[in-house]
Amino acid sequence: MATDAGIERLVVPESPGGEGWDDFVQLTEVRNACRRVDGGHQRDTSPEFLLGGWHEAGQTEPETVVARRDGTVVSFAEYHREEPEVAPVGWFELFVLPEHRRRGIGARLYDEIERLAADDGRTTLIADFSSPPREGPVVAASNGAGGVPADDPGARFALARGYALG
């Protein structure tokens, strides 16, 4: 299904109140809303706390891509990479507000993340998501250590793109 959401790179502010701060606050709200629904998290993260983690010394800052509808951030993906001398690995997280899912927004953001990883020469791309326990069928992890509910949105998204749970 086509979407009318605009996709763009996000300027991550250097500090609270800096250039891009309002967008970063919206991104944090999307992240918190998705984590409450999908991950069972009870506590929200403040934009200030999240920003501090993104500017941690010794870490490469993530590339961030957002999707907007009517000027409001409704989805985002963050792409992280190890320094090439450490490992040719990239990983990402993708968040889509539940009311905006199944419209192609997540797929478009994922395509952008995959392109960034390919441009970086990454040979492995790892998705990170959390899921609260639920009743029903479980998709077992490939390493044999647990699994995730088969009806979990993150698991369905990853499996549809050829990922193995591990």
Cβ neighbour number for residue 58 with a 10 Å cutoff? 5
Question: 83 versus 43: which is more confidently predicted?
Answer: 43
Residue 1 pLDDT greater than 60, yes or no: no
For residue 2, the model assigns a pLDDT of 47
Per-residue pLDDT tens for 149-166?
A: 777 777 777 777 777 776
Global pTM value:
0.80
pLDDT value for 154: 73
Residue 96 has pLDDT above 80, yes or no: yes
Using CB atoms within 10 A of its CB, is residue 21 exposed (0-12), middle (13-18) or buried (19+)? middle
Which residue, among 138, 75, 111, has the nearest Cα to 155 in the 3D structure?
A: 138
3-state secondary structure of 47: helix
Q: Which H or E run contains 149?
A: strand 147-149
Residue 91: per-residue pLDDT: 84
